[in-house]
Every structure is written in C-alpha cells, then in structure tokens.
Amino acid sequence: MSKRRSSSIVRPARSGYTVLELMLVLALIVVLGALAYPELQGPLARQRLKSAAETIRGAWNNARSDAMMTGEIHLFRYEPDTGNYQVQRWINADTSSSSGPSAGSTTASDEQLLLPEDVTFVGGDQVDFRADYEAQAMSGADTGTAPSVMFYPDGSTSTVELEIANQYGTRVRISMRGMTGVVTVTAPYESGESR
C-alpha cells in the first residue's frame, strides 16, 4: 500500500476577534455611557459648586493677607446672578497723591474672574457699618453697584454671608466673621432647605 500525502496544511485555530464582535462591544459601551451620563451630571455639578466655594474662600484669604501686607483696604466684588467676581485695592484719601487716582476709588489688582461653569452668586448678607462710614466720609467714593466685601489692614473684614448655587438649585453658603476673618463653608444643600 502506498501512502498518500495530504496536500492540505493544518491551520491553527484563529484566536482574534471579528470586526462584528468589536463593533458590538463598542456599541454596548456607548449605550451604557449614554445611560450613565445623566446620572453623573448631578454629582459633577455638586463638585463644581464645592470647588467654587473653596475658590471664594481662597480669594477672601488672599485679599485679607494682601490688605494686611500692603496696609491698604482691599475689596472682593461680585455680580449677583452671574459667576463674575473681582478682587480690588481701595485707594484711600490719605494715601493717594494729587496726580494719582481719585480718593475713594478702586484699582483692579486682578482681571475679572469667573466661578466654574453654571455656578452663580445668588444671595448675600453683609453687616459692615465701618464700610458704610468710610464710603460716606470719602466724598465721591465710587463703591459701584456690585456688592463688595472689605478687607482692612488690621486683619478685620466685613461680616458677610454669601450664597452660590448651581443650575440644579443646590447651594453653598460661605460666611466670614468680621473681627477674625475666619471663613466657613457649608455642605451643599438644596434651595428649599434652611441652613
């Protein structure tokens, strides 16, 4: 008997994935991502709100330090219902020269700053009789229309409570004690809750 040789070569089994299998897995990932995306928006917005509160706390602490180091009053101004704010230096009548800016005016130490996306200033309460007195004492004082928080060279500040909110109505209250300059930030809460 003669042996016949097989002309076919035995091929090893393929161990890869087909394009169809890859497309199915990719489609499944896209569908799961689309389902999870709306659920992630709330926590992400809450985190942006917390970040904005910490940004304001930092701006207040920096303005207070700058006021103590320079010996000049500094202001934190914000525009209600927006995320715009600015830290400025108040030029006092005693320190301004006749050729310099007018007494009681402000100069911007920084450009217009913004809170994170969809975070706005929604309310504030300020008790600072010294700021009212100084504004009245300086003729032609331009305090502007934006509410402002004052930081004095002796380390004291305006006593203020400020609220910021995100697009879902979640709020954070930031408060500062006037005599000590201590800033506290509440945990995020819904607009219907009292804090």
Q: What is the pLDDT of residues 66-124, one digit of tens each?
A: 999 999 999 999 999 999 999 989 875 554 444 434 445 555 455 789 999 899 999 87
Considering only 28-32, 76-80, 84-88, 133-137, which range has the smallest mean pLDDT? Answer: 133-137
- Mean residue pLDDT across the chain: 80
pLDDT reported for residue 123: 83
More confident residue, 109 or 29: 29
Which domains, and CATH codes, for the chain? 51-190 (3.55.40.10)
* Mean pLDDT (whole number) for 19-34: 92
Distance between CA 185 and CA 15 in Å, rounded? 57
How far, in Å, are 33, 34, 111, 115, 131 from residue 56 at the CA level? Answer: 33, 34, 15, 9, 20
8 Å CB contact between 77 and 60: no
8 Å CB contact between 119 and 164: yes
More confident residue, 144 or 57: 57
Distance between CA 69 and CA 116 in Å, rounded? 29
pTM of the predicted model as reported, rounded to 2 decimal places: 0.71
What is residue 180's three-state secondary structure?
A: coil
pLDDT band at 39 (very low <50, low <70, confident <90, very high): confident
* Mean pLDDT (whole number) for 162-168: 93
pLDDT reported for residue 191: 74
More confident residue, 165 or 192: 165
More confident residue, 139 or 34: 34
